């Protein structure tokens, strides 16, 4: 299947590893950009994260299709091609720079200063390609956009969630790794925005997203609440701070969320519960009253939901208020919405491996539809193909370049 999408005219050199950066670069790839994943000789370490396909247990040379990645890698590196380069080697460093000469953007998520020490800083690349957009995700940002006392510290999802207040707000870590995925998303948005500017002005630029900053922005409401009141919320999910019900309730076969944002939603819920009295009861007639009497209101709703299955609750509410059954992946894979929206796509990694199913791009375009056109790549799978495409000659001794 050919590469499709609104970003088909863009070329992105992807030096990201693990999750945060690859997620953002993966969004650009899903939107149609030509994304070249540049990996070191040992590859992106995320390749080694399980679960794996059946042939992964065999020695590399004995695998039916040379599959060298697990599911987490596949999830964020579909629609990319892999080139293996040792950026500590002068000849291969020159290949990298030649790729950047023809690219629109370079993205990476290494610690501050790593690319600089390799002689591959934004300034070096921009001196050769003035329109280049250089974007990165860092734990605490890059000194180019603002010094941080933690700039040299490493960071992973758990650290960024903790620094940024999300762990306090939920009294625990949020999964999946939101402090990786949200910064990656912001990086992709930043790239598109900077490219828009570059196309108008001819000027590229550097941009970064700090994981800490992204978590702070993710909590705009909590920031505003503290800014208004000066009071720190208690730890744990705030189930009754602004709206109620806005919570999870037990059903016969699991849990279901009910969210009442408008007075009419409350009346419709009461009607479905056959509790017209709660529309006028002074303990529940208004949102303010329900917040004051949350334990009593919760008890009444739980008494109703626990008698019914999730499907029965959905049928009684009939789409009249925001409601959602707590689903696992088995539920999601058979949900008619997922099929109707084509949110699951399959591809074949080849050999004796079974087809794999991956999440599709959630941004749906009417004129420039996107697709899964490239299976997750093996390490260095596209060296010869990409270098030929860019008109770059292989180095004289490509011992650690796999083609």
**What is the CA 261 to chain-centroid distance, rounded?**
28
Q: What is the C-alpha separation between 174 and 254, in angstroms, rounded?
A: 20
Q: What dihedral do alpha carbons 300, 306, 309, 310 form, nearest 10°?
A: 60
Clarify whether 180 is annotated catalytic: yes
* Residue 107 DSSP one-character state: E
Q: Which of 68, 104, 180, 208 is catalytic?
A: 180
Q: Which two tokens stand for residue 68?
A: 């060298």
- Give the whole-angstrom CA distance, residue 28 versus residue 9: 11
How far apart are alpha carbons 13 and 363 in whole angstroms?
Answer: 22
Determine which helix (DSSP H) or strand (DSSP E) holds 115, and give its type and residue range.
Answer: helix 114-117
Burial 176-191 (b: 16+ CB within 10 A, else e): ebbbbbbbbbbbbebb
Distance separating alpha carbons of residues 195 and 107, to the nearest angstrom: 13
End-to-end distance of the chain based on CA atoms, in angstroms? 22
* Rg, the chain, Cα only: 25
Which contacts qualify for 191-198: CB closer than 8 Å, 24 or more apart? 191/12, 191/24, 191/28, 191/105, 191/107, 191/133, 191/135, 192/7, 192/28, 194/105, 194/133, 194/135, 195/10, 195/104, 195/105, 195/133, 198/104, 198/131, 198/133
Q: β-strands 133-138, 205-210: how paired?
A: parallel
* Catalytic site positions: 180
């Amino acid at each position: 299947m050919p590469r499709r999408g609104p970003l088909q005219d863009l070329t992105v050199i992807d030096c990201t590893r693990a999750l945060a950066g690859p997620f953002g670069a993966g969004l650009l790839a899903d939107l149609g950009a030509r994304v070249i994943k540049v990996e070191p000789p040992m590859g992106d370490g995320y390749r080694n994260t399980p679960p794996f396909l059946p042939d992964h247990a065999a020695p590399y040379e004995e695998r039916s299709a040379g599959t060298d990645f697990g599911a987490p890698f596949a999830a964020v590196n579909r629609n990319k091609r892999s080139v293996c380069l040792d950026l500590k080697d002068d000849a291969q460093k020159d290949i990298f720079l030649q790729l950047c000469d023809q690219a629109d953007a370079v993205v990476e998520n290494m610690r501050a200063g790593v690319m600089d020490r390799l002689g591959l800083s934004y300034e070096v690349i921009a001196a050769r390609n003035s329109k280049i957009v250089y974007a990165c995700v860092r734990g605490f940002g890059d000194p180019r956009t603002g010094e941080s006392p933690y700039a040299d510290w490493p960071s992973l999802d758990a650290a960024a969630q903790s620094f940024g207040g999300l762990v306090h707000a939920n009294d625990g870590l949020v999964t999946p790794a939101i402090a990786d995925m949200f910064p990656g998303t912001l990086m992709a948005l930043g790239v598109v925005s900077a490219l828009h500017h570059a196309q108008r002005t001819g000027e590229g630029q550097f941009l970064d997203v700090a994981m800490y900053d992204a978590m702070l922005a993710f909590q705009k409401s909590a920031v505003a609440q503290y800014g208004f009141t000066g009071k720190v919320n208690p730890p744990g999910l705030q189930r009754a701070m602004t709206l109620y019900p806005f919570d999870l309730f037990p059903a016969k076969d699991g849990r279901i969320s009910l969210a009442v944002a408008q007075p009419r939603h409350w009346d419709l819920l009461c009607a479905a519960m056959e509790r017209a009295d709660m529309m006028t009861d002074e303990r529940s007639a208004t949102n303010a009253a329900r917040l004051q009497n949350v334990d009593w209101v919760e008890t009444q709703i739980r008494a109703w939901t626990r008698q019914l299955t999730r499907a029965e609750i959905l049928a009684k509410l009939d789409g009249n208020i925001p409601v959602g059954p707590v689903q696992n992946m088995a539920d999601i894979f058979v949900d008619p919405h997922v099929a109707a929206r084509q949110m699951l796509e399959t591809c074949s990694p080849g050999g004796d491996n079974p087809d794999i199913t991956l999440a599709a791009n959630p941004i749906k375009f009417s004129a420039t539809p996107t697709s899964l056109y490239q299976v997750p790549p093996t390490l260095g799978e596209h060296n010869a193909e990409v270098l030929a495409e860019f008109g770059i000659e292989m180095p004289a001794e490509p011992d650690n370049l796999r083609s």
